[in-house]
Structure 1
Amino acid sequence: MSTVLALLIFVASYVLIMTEKLNRALVAIAGGVLLLVTKVYAWEEAFGFIDWETVALLFSMMVLVSITKKTGIFTFMAIRLAQMVQGRPVPLLMVTALFTAVGSAFLDNVTTVLLFVPVLLSLVERLKLPAFPYLITTIFSSNIGGTATLIGDPPNIMIGQAVEHFSFVSFLYHLGPVVLIIFVVVIGSTILLFRKSLSYDEKLAAALMEMDAKEHLKVSRLLVQSISVLLLTITGFMMHPFIHMDITTIAVSGALLLLFLSEKELDVEHVFQEVEWVTLFFFMGLFMLVGGLETVGVIDELARGMVWISGGDMPVTSLVMLWSAGILSGVVDNIPFVAAMIPVVQELQGYGMMNVDPVWWSLALGACLGGNGTLVGASANVVVAGLAASHNQPIPFLKFSFYGIPVLLLSLLISTVYVWFRYLLPFL
């Protein structure tokens, strides 16, 4: 009976999260509480299922970015980039892609689009350019760029916390090369598709060039402090294997340091109010939902099924994981899928697969890149769609999917070749 209840609650919650009829954090927490009410598990077990390290890491990065944003540095950089290309539409599209990809890799993709999209919409409005090509490029770039690092996309954060020997550098080393290839191919294709619809107006471009980007930059002690601490934290992530300190501790230390340094300029309570609490509670509820499946043995059965399908063969298991993660993450948000798959991969080690690193990298690639399939495929997509709608530039679901699904399939094909030659040939 407990198994049926856990499955029903998980599926119902998943459907509600996918349809977005209700707030996803509310749905996830409600699902977790239902598991408690139906006695699938107790409170002590529920708190044990929540990955507090992932929650603390996300919270710390939100605090760092929230304080840094107040200096206007991100708006300043966006305007400067547009002026560097003199307001020309195609170069602006390229700069948009590059800025979003790099920002997503080192700040996380949700934070990057929250900061960049309002500025981007203002720029394209000034230049009287169609917003859709720039918005869709931003989404593609955020998911591709976020795939490259441990903190770039929530699925990578979750995988990084689940596997002790994966560091910030590990993600860059293993996923960076294929991300670079996919970025060049996808953005190059996007430019070819939209270049004819992007017309150049010299007068409007001249008006953009006359904008003073420094007006948005608040030169103060806070600017120096926030940039210094942010760079110090990112450096700490990269040095993680050498200083023997986990990335959550580094992130929390960075956030606390900046809070202490900026206490005279900023109200700490106000900073905490700007934290994306909905996202954090969504994660907590999600961990509780997956914990219910783990309690009743569903996760163990999924692992058995994957071993049965693949026959315990590493290449088959990795490619099944890559494509299933990519396709399913294209249909639903990639966060709940990864939350469900992490214990499955961990269980695979109990069935004779000692080195499951290729499966982990396949899961990361599939889940992060799969987010480009549809508007509900990743949190960053939903954020961009919401910001665009608030500026009267709605992104139609089907129109996005028309471009997103081919990008997803192309990304998975490139990833398949990469995973095969880099990781799977030794197993043949």
Structure 2
Amino acid sequence: MDVLLATIIFIVSYLFIMTDKINRAIVALSGGTLLLLTGIFTTQDIFTEYIDWATIALLFSMMVLISITEKTGLFTFIAIRFAQRVGGRPIPLLVGVGVLTAVGSAMLDNVTTVLIFVPILLRITKLLNIPSFPYLLMIIFSSNIGGAATLIGDPPNIMIGQAVEHLTFLSFFIHVGPIALIMFLTMILFIYLCFRKTLSSSVIDARELEKMDAAAHLHKTPMLYKSISVLILTITGFLLHAFVHIDLTAIALAGALLLLFLTQDELEAERVFEKVEWVTLFFFVGLFTLVGGLQEVGVIDELARAIVLTTDGDYVNTTLLVLWVSGIFSGIVDNIPFVAAMIPVVQEFESYGMVYLDPIWWALSLGACLGGNATLIGSSANVVVAGLAERSGDRISFVRFMLFGVPIVLLSLVISTIYIYLRYLLPYISQL
């Protein structure tokens, strides 16, 4: 009975999250509360076993760091100055938007990056009188591909990194970074071929753009230099994490608290905390609770067993199946709840004799992050961009987005399959 209840609550919650009609945090927390009321587990179980507080703290810390830095106008200054440097020319601007978004998503996180750049981009496209859709598409694809390259770039990677201690910031950069770069260049070419005629024929008027004073948005106060310094220190700490043996969450928390202390005279902590995406954090809390219910009743164990049975326990087939299942499902549903459900499944593979799980973790990461490009609900960044665009009067059609998103994802999965097979699976086979 508990298995049926936990499964129904999880599926119904998932469906409500997909429709996005009710706030996702409320849905996830409600599902978790229902699991409590049905007696599937206790409050102590939730808080001590199932909620990954390290992931919550890491996300919170990055939100604080970015919130303070954003107040300095640094990100707005960079975006406007770049648009002016390319003279507002549509195609160079398109490529530049992709580069800025990908780098920002890799070093900050993709949700924060799109929140920063989309409003600025929409303003620039209106000034230049060019269609916003190709640029919004570029931002979404670049944010998910760039976010895949690092541990902190996309929430699924953060969750995997926290679940597997030896997968460091540097590990993600070395193992997932190369394929992310290949996919980014492929995606740039794809979008260029799709929109070159439309953008080349656009008649632009860059006079209003040139009149914009980028420097006016940059507040050259001590807070600017403190923010940049602490951000650099924090990212350096991530890179050295494996050598200094300090937990990633501890590094992020230290960076956030240091910046709060250094800027308290210029910016009250209350104002910083107002900008923290509390809905996202509570969504994660509810999500971990929902998945915890499935773990408690043994559904996760059965899923792992089903995957192993499907592939007859073959290591190569299991790895590639995880890649494709992750890619397809992450396009249909938000990749965050999917990865939350898959992490304990992959961990369970060890009990079936699969000792070396790293290639499977990379397959899950690539499938979830790149698969999120398929639809507007595939990742949190997609949902955020669609919402910002609609409020600005530039609504993105779900079907129109899929016409570009699905081919990109299929291409991503094919390239990722080749990459994973040649880099990890072929050497493994040759050693047998």
Compute the displacement of 1:154 (Å).
0.2
Q: CA deviation at 1:309?
A: 1.1
Q: Is 1:44 matched with 2:44?
A: yes
Which residue is 2:142 aligned to? 141
Q: Work out whether residues 127 and 201 of structure 1, in 8 Å CA contact, stay in contact via their aligned partners in 2.
A: no
Q: Between 192-201 and 100-109, report the one with greater CA deviation.
A: 192-201
Q: In the alignment, is the contact (CA less than 8 A) between 1:63 and 1:275 conserved in 2?
A: yes
- Identity across aligned pairs (percent)? 61
> Residues 188-199 of structure 1 correspond to what in structure 2 (within 5 A)?
188-199=189-200
Give the Å deviation of 1:426. Answer: 2.4
Normalised to the residue count of structure 1, the TM-score between the two structures is 0.99
Q: Match for 2:69: what amino acid?
A: T
Map of 1:3 onto structure 2: 3
8 Å contact from structure 2 (residues 88, 204) kept in 1: no
Q: Distance in 1 between matches of 2:204 and 2:12?
A: 54
Q: Is the 8 A contact 2:332 2:374 kept in 1?
A: yes
Q: Report the alpha carbon displacement of residue 208 of structure 1 after superposing the two structures with TM.
A: 1.6
> Which consecutive aligned stretches of 4+ in structure 1 deviate over 3 angstroms post-superposition?
199-203
| Aligned position for 1:125 | 126
Residues 88, 200 of structure 1: 8 Å contact kept? no
Partner of 1:56, secondary structure, is: helix
Report SS of the residue matched to 2:205: helix
In structure 2, the partner of 1:17 is: 17
Shift of 1:242: 1.1
Number of the residue aligned with 1:87: 88
Give the aligned residue type for 1:232: L
Distance in 1 of aligned mates of 2:390 and 2:383: 11
Counterpart position of 1:340: 341
| Alignment check: 8 A CA contact 1:85 1:92 kept | yes
Match of 1:154 in 2: 155
Distance 2:57 2:24 in 1: 20
2-structure distance, mates of 1:168, 1:203: 42
C-alpha distance in 2 between matches for 1:408 and 1:24: 25
Give how far 1:340 is off: 0.3
Alpha-carbon offset, residue 206 of structure 1: 3.4
2:313 — aligned with what? 312
TM-score normalised by structure 2 residue count = 0.98
Deviations for 1:41-97, whole angstroms, at most 9, x for unmatched residues? 000111120000000000000000000000000000001111121110000000000
Match of 2:326 in 1: 325
SS in 2 for 1:263: coil
Unaligned runs of 5+ in 1: none
Deviation at 1:312, TM superposition (A): 1.5
Q: In the alignment, residue 150 of structure 2 is paired with which amino acid?
A: T
The correspondence of residues 71-220 of structure 1 with structure 2, limited to 5 A, is 71-199=72-200, 204-220=205-221
Task: Quote the residue 2:357 is aligned against.
Answer: 356
**Match of 1:100, as an amino acid?**
T
Task: Kindly provide the CA deviation profile for residues 176-231 of structure 1, in whole angstroms up to 9, marking residues without a partner as x.
Answer: 11111110011111011111111577772233223221011011000000111011
What is the aligned residue count? 428
Contact 1:89 1:200 in 2 (8 A): no
Once residues 83 and 423 of structure 1 are traced to their aligned partners in structure 2, the CA distance between those partners, rounded to angstroms, is 44
1:358-403 deviation line (CA, Å, top 9, x unaligned): 1000000000000000000000000000000010000000000011
Q: Check the 8 A contact 2:129/2:204 in 1, yes or no.
A: no
- AA paired with 1:363? L
C-alpha RMSD of the superposition: 0.9
**Structure 2: which 5+ residue stretches go unaligned?**
none
- Give SS of 1:197's match: helix
Match of 1:204, SS? coil
Name the residue aligned to 2:409. 408
Q: Distance in 2 between matches of 1:371 and 1:324?
A: 12
Query: How many angstroms apart in 1 are the aligned matches of 2:250 and 2:26?
Result: 28
The one-letter amino acid paired with 1:224 is Y
Instruction: Tell me the residue number matched to 1:230.
Output: 231
Question: Aligned pair in 2 of structure 1 residues 33, 425: CA closer, same or farther (>3 Å)?
Answer: same
What amino acid does structure 2 have at the position aligned with 1:317? Answer: T
2: distance between equivalents of 1:356 and 1:281? 30
Specify the code of the residue in structure 2 equivalent to 1:381: N
Asked whether 1:249 is paired with 2:250, we answer yes
Secondary structure of residue in 2 paired with 1:198 = helix
Shift in alpha-carbon separation, 1:182–1:201, aligned structure 2, 3 A: closer
The residue aligned with 1:29 is: 29
Equivalent position amino acid for 2:327 in 1: G
Distance 1:178 1:322, change over 3 A: same
Alignment partner of 2:176: what SS?
helix
